[in-house]
Amino acid sequence: MTLPKHIAIIMDGNGRWAERRGRPRAIGHRAGAKAVETTVAFCRRNGIEALTLFAFSSENWGRPQDEVGALMKLFLGVLDKEVAKMHQHGVRLRFIGDRARFAREIRERMEKAEALTAGNDRLHLNIAASYGGRQDIAFATRALAEDVAAGKLKPQDIDEDLVAQRMALADVPAPDLFIRTGGDHRVSNFLLWQLAYTELWFTDVLWPDFDEKVLQRAIDDFAGRERRFGLTAAQLKEQPAA
Ligand code: IPE
Ligand code: IPE
Ligand code: MG
């Protein structure tokens, strides 16, 4: 069975999960943190090499202040409680997104977690927080423009590879499988560049209800897909994928 090496997930539906129970949305986010643990453990145990989770978008900063505040408190708590355990399990933790917008105490914990787990290779866990796909592309463009302005790079040398090197997740192969929970069929400014040839899978299951069984369903579905990358099926038979 073809296993995805890299899975990227939009963890959506926390708010509705709580609202259906007549509870505040923050309760849904807290319940969502448990589903993160389950997902990380599953990937670690089943030989998935990389997992990228969309935790907070660049647009989510615009939510009501009390919800943003509750999410920040949750991030802090998770960073304090879960990082040591992840390190023990050989997880390498990275954060992608504009971290300048976070409070210093969160930024410092992110840096510490990255430094602590930098040498691990069991599972590469990337958390997209304060992340936007357009922002990612804009930052990469700016970095290239700076190199051109400094005389280090010629505009005619800019190609897809050079752009890719400046994007988030440059050192991880592109996601093979994208999952969105919560029933909506859209990308919501997640990894726009990196998802070019990713297989998309959607479920109505709300993120706090996401578990091994749902993840296994997505992985099974992925195994049956034919990825053609713009070629014909006959061509793929001639040159089996590496
Ligand atoms: C996803 O759940 C988590 C974040 C965006 C932080 P939502 O909070 O978007 O939940 P719904 O989509 O409103 O149910
Ligand atoms: C996408 O969910 C972002 C995260 C899950 C972190 P949203 O709930 O923000 O997306 P929209 O607003 O439904 O497109
Ligand atoms: Mg949502």
User: What is the per-residue pLDDT for 226?
Assistant: 96
Ligand 1 centre to CA of 162 (Å) is 34
Query: How many domains does the chain contain in total?
Result: 1
What is d(CA 218, CA 229) in angstroms, rounded to the nearest whole number? 20
Q: What is the mean pLDDT of residues 7-29?
A: 98
Give strand ranges (E) for 79-176.
91-96, 123-131
pLDDT(33) > 60: yes
What is d(CA 30, CA 33) in angstroms, rounded to the nearest whole number? 5
Ligand 3 centre to CA of 84 (Å) is 29
Higher pLDDT: 241 or 34? It is: 34
Average pLDDT, the chain: 97
Is there a domain that residue 139 lies in?
no
Please say whether the dihedral angle defined by the alpha carbons of residues 33, 34, 35 and 37, taken in this order, is positive or negative.
positive
Is there a domain that residue 141 lies in?
no
Identify whether 46 is a catalytic site residue.
no
pLDDT(240) > 90: no
Q: Model confidence at 242, in pLDDT bands (50, 70, 90)?
A: low
Is there a domain that residue 228 lies in?
yes
Instruction: Determine if the pTM surpasses 0.95.
Output: yes
* Ligand positioned closest to the Cα atom of 32: 1
What is d(CA 106, CA 91) in angstroms, rounded to the nearest whole number? 19
Asked if 137 and 167 touch (Cβ cutoff 8 Å), the reply is yes
Is there a domain that residue 117 lies in?
yes
Q: What is the mean pLDDT of residues 33-45?
A: 97
What is d(CA 191, CA 196) in angstroms, rounded to the nearest whole number? 9
pLDDT cut 90: percent of the chain above it: 97
Residue nearest to atom 12 of ligand 2 (CA): 188
Residue nearest to atom 3 of ligand 2 (CA): 57
User: CA nearest 194: which of 123, 122, 117, 96?
Assistant: 96
Closest ligand 1 atom, CA of 19? 14
What is d(CA 147, CA 192) in angstroms, rounded to the nearest whole number? 23
**Contact 39 CB / ligand 1 (< 6 Å):** no
What is d(CA 221, CA 230) in angstroms, rounded to the nearest whole number? 20
**Contact 58 CB / ligand 1 (< 6 Å):** no
Q: What is the mean pLDDT of residues 7-25?
A: 98
Taking the CA atoms of residue 35, residue 38, residue 42 and residue 44 in that order, the dihedral angle to the nearest 10 degrees is 110
**Contact 132 CB / ligand 1 (< 6 Å):** no
Asked if 70 and 56 touch (Cβ cutoff 8 Å), the reply is no
Is there a domain that residue 159 lies in?
no
Provide residues with CB under 6 Å of ligand 2: 10-12, 54-57, 60, 184, 186, 188
Residue nearest to atom 11 of ligand 2 (CA): 188
Residue nearest to atom 4 of ligand 1 (CA): 56
User: What is the per-residue pLDDT for 239?
Assistant: 77
Is there a domain that residue 165 lies in?
no
Which three-class secondary structure state does DSSP give residue 107? helix
Ligand 3 centre to CA of 129 (Å) is 14
Is there a domain that residue 116 lies in?
yes
pLDDT tens per residue, range 181-238: 999 999 999 999 999 999 999 999 999 999 999 999 999 999 999 999 999 999 999 9
DSSP category for residue 197: T
pLDDT tens per residue, range 115-172: 999 999 999 999 999 999 999 999 999 999 999 999 999 999 999 999 999 999 999 9
Identify whether 126 is a catalytic site residue.
no
The enclosing H or E element of 154 equals none
Residue 28, domain extent: 6-132+174-238
Q: What is the mean pLDDT of residues 30-43?
A: 97
pLDDT cut 70: percent of the chain above it: 99
Of the listed 60, 126, 136, 176, which one is catalytic? Answer: 60
Provide the CATH number for the domain around residue 179. Answer: 3.40.1180.10
Q: What is the mean pLDDT of residues 20-38?
A: 97
User: What is the per-residue pLDDT for 1?
Assistant: 83
Is there a domain that residue 168 lies in?
no
Ligand 2 centre to CA of 141 (Å) is 25
φ, ψ (nearest 5 deg) of residue 72: -65, -40
